[in-house]
Structure 1
Amino acid sequence: MIWIIVIIVIVLFLIAVYADVSKASELDERYGPLTKTYTIGTFLDSSIRIYEESHKVWIMGEIYDFKDILSVTLETETKKGQSRIIATTSTDTLGTIGRSMVGKLAGGNTGALIGAGTAKKKTVIEQETIEDSHVVYILDIKIDNLQRPVISIKLEDNRDQAIELYSVFDLIIKRGN
């Protein structure tokens, strides 16, 4: 049963990849030579493709004219890492045995339990970091489109790609195409 599910998932993934390749070819045929592409996610709808010759840009599943790009901003957001505190308490076993024996001599079985309960306990507290803090770059592209006026793109820890994308959109705006 699990193998059938795995095979179905693989087939669906391959169909999605084929559809992306077909769509990318269609875009290239329609808008001319691809100048630059930026991969943000796994599939075509989470990418940016620049067609300089035809003055078009594919942004996350939609095509826009260069003149529709109104402004671009690049912001950073620092995400703090997560940490957890681990407290481990242990009882000194040699102390437990000795105290139990003394308690048994003094008060029988009840004394043994009381003696064992008075053994020294040691608590060790450790802090474990699960994930280090990191920077998220957020590229906000304002579009001349009332249905989707702002496109926000989050680029996890990818400073170079964020700066390059900002620069490309800044050039598109400055050229006034």
Structure 2
Amino acid sequence: MVVLVPVTSVNWREVTRVRAAEHQRRWVADVTYYLCLSAYDGLWRSCAVQDEDSATVGHVMWAVDPEDDSHWIGGLVIDAAHQGKGFGRATVLALMTLWEHEEPSLSGTPYAQAALSVAPDNRGALGLYRSLGFVETGELSDDEVVLRRGRPAQAPLRGSG
């Protein structure tokens, strides 16, 4: 349902047009802030979220925590005009699928666990992440609750075991 495309010098302007719904702006930064983190912080990687017609409908970024090697999701913003269509859920699943198939070639770190943080009063986001198997850990990141989800166990190969 979505394709994640790295933000580059070619597509960054499209990504800066992504705007959260008005009521969500207290929980997310402007996408330009996330793009700056990705460009200058040295940790985060920004992706444009595109629909099946290659239209940019959102932004997400990810990083690997050097302390515990968990793969973090951040800066997930679906444009207000495209919300309610399953793009948020599809983005999280696409990111975990990317890690499943491309790691450790992308970051140098095998994918074992996904993590993210959410404002405790952001009920919509908490509901989405819980429905995807993320569990609150009791950790805090700034003023946000941390949720984690382990990588699903791999099915054994036929004939092995």
TM value normalised by structure 2: 0.24
Higher helix share: 1
Higher-Rg member (1/2): 1
More strand by share: 1
